[in-house]
Each structure stands twice: as structure tokens, then as C-alpha cells.
Amino acid sequence: MLAKTGGRYRVLSSGVTLEATLRGRLKRGQEQVLVGDRVTLRSHTDAAVTIEAVEERKSVLRRRTPGRRHGVRLVAANLDQVAVVGAARQPDWAPQLMDRFIAVAAANDLPVAVVINKCDLLEDPAALGRAYERAGYEVLYTSVPAGAGLGELRDLLAGRSSLFTGPTGVGKSSLLNALQPGLRLRTGVVSRRSHSGRHTTVAAEMYPFAHGGFVVDTPGLRDIGLWGLERAEVEAAFREFRAYVGYCKFDDCRHLHEPGCAVRAATERGEIVASRLDSYRRMLQEAHTAARPWYAGRDR
């Protein structure tokens, strides 16, 4: 299933895009049909198509709505990976934002690739990627005008189902258009606001990728920094810490101000990148308080 608008579902069937509705039984049930779901279709004599069943999912991207403890929304199904895109400049490289996107992927048990775009605007973009390479992530360096790294990006996306995400303006649409003219992310449609000032979610949308696989965009959820994470998820997201946590003096060390912290010591030795520890601390603090995150009111 590619996209849902109201009660209508856009579905890809043998290379053809169809519009379908839910079969009554499915409609009344608890189960939702998600973008990325594999479904069983049935054609009716009046040319109507209905979704009869949803196949078992191999992954689900979940979003925890902040503020409400158990508010969990299912965003997309069957993703293989998350490509987090950032810009070397314009907008300036924002490690804290990148780390948030990465943490959301990690919390959903999805592999992450980091894409550093606009490499034409910075002399040494590898300096930005090093922290992520060291943490074991695949890092791609791209430039749309210079045509750099586009082959690698195509290979990364080909044959897989990928969430393509990152802050606005970093060049996500430009990259995808360079690989597949006409494949458009809905740039600019960041999110609508209702009169109450709350976001009305614009759901995920999936596009077939010309080189095989699918690319998923979540325009209404671009502000992925607002996705709530729990403490355990934050801890798990910083995987380069794992080699050290066993050496912290206290078993329950949070790597904040505790004495004998091996993670902090590793950061001081330059083995862990300082911006990553900084991101971790901010995210951990939010996971504890979760009332008013540091970024509230920013970039709006």
C-alpha cells in the first residue's frame, strides 16, 4: 500500500497503481492498513477493488506521541532501513537533529545510513561523517550539482524499502530527483496546523523507486525530533557507547555527572565524539522530563 487519503488507499498491483477501499470486515477491525503493507486485493464486478487482508509485517515504524504516555501511532510497515539526510552546509550541519533521526530509527530496530549532502559547500565533509562512521553507520557523501555519491545512494536504496528522512532543506527531494526525475517528495508540505495550533498529521507516502524498492516520505512527521523516546531507547541508540558502559563505576550510570564514567572518559580521549554525548544527554533529559523539550518553539 502506497498511500492513504481518507478512506481510499493507493495500492501498487503488478506495476499498476489502483485505488482501493477496505473490505468491511477489515474496516471494523482493530487492524490498520499501513503504508508499506503487503495486502490481498479483490476486484469486484463493478470495477471496485477492496483490500481483503494484510500480510504479516517484518517491521513497523512506530511513533510515540509526546506527552501521552501510551500514545503510539503506526507510521509505516516493512521498512528495511532509514536513510537520514543532512546538509554539510545551508542549513548548517546539525548533529543533534541528525542524532534524533538516528535514534528514532534505532528505537524501531531499523538500520540507518547517514547521507551528508551538499558536500560541494564544505571543504572537509568527512570531518562531519567521522562520528557516524566510528559508531558503525554507513555514511554517504553526496552533492547534487557535482553529481557526487549519487551512484552510492542509488545502490543504497535499490531493491529496499527505505524511509528517506532528515531536516527540511537539506536536499532530499533534489537527491531523489537526480536519481529518478519525477519522483517527488512533497517538499514544503511540512505540516498543516489546525486552528488549535496542533499538528494535523499528514501521513506517510511510499513511492516505487526506479531501480527497485521503495522510498517512503513522512511529510507530516518531518519534525521527527518531536517523536518521543524512552530512556532505554535513547541508551540503545548510541551504539558506540556500548563498548564502554560495562566499565562505568556504577551499573546504572547514565553518563551524566557520575564519577568513574567510562563513556565520559572515552569522550575526553576523543574515542567518542563530543557532539554525540551531548545529543545523548539532551535526549535522555527529555526522556525523563518529557514535558518541554529543548527544541520546543524552535525553527517555527
- Note the residues at the interface with ligand GDP (CB under 6 A): 117-118, 120-121, 143-145, 168-174, 185, 187
111 binds, among ligand GDP, Zn ion, none (CB under 5 to 8 A by kind): none
Q: Retrieve residue 9's grid coordinates.
A: 488507499
Q: How far is the CB of 170 from ligand GDP (least distance, A)?
A: 4
Interacting residues toward Zn ion by CB under 5 A: 248, 253, 255, 261, 263
Q: If 0-12 CB within 10 Å is exposed, 13-18 middle and 19+ buried, where does residue 40 land?
A: exposed
Residue 213 site contact among Zn ion, ligand GDP, none (CB < 5 to 8 Å, cut-off depends on kind) = none
Could you tell which of ligand GDP, Zn ion, none binds residue 272, using a CB distance below 5 to 8 A set by kind?
Answer: none
Grid cell at residue 23: 473490505
**DSSP character at residue 7:** T
Min CB(268)–Zn ion separation in Å: 12
State the nearest-atom distance from the C-beta of 260 to ligand GDP, in Å: 43
Work out how close the CB of 193 gets to ligand GDP at its nearest, in angstroms, rounded to a whole number: 18
Residue whose beta carbon is closest to ligand GDP: 171
CB-CB contact of 207 with 161 (8 Å): no
Pair type for strands 199-200 and 192-193: antiparallel
Which of the listed partners (ligand GDP, Zn ion, none) does 248 bind, with a CB threshold of 5 to 8 Å by partner kind? Zn ion
Residue 169 binds which of Zn ion, ligand GDP, none (CB < 5-8 A, kind-dependent): ligand GDP
Q: How far is the CB of 145 from ligand GDP (least distance, A)?
A: 5
Q: Which three cell numbers stand for residue 125?
A: 565533509
Q: Is the four-CA dihedral 116, 122, 126, 127 of positive or negative sign?
A: negative
Three-state SS at 162: strand
- Kindly state the greatest CA–CA separation across the chain: 72
200 neighbors 175 (Cβ within 8 angstroms):
no
Nearer to ligand GDP, 34 or 216 (CB): 216
In angstroms, rounded to a whole number, what is the distance separating the alpha carbons of residues 51 and 41?
5
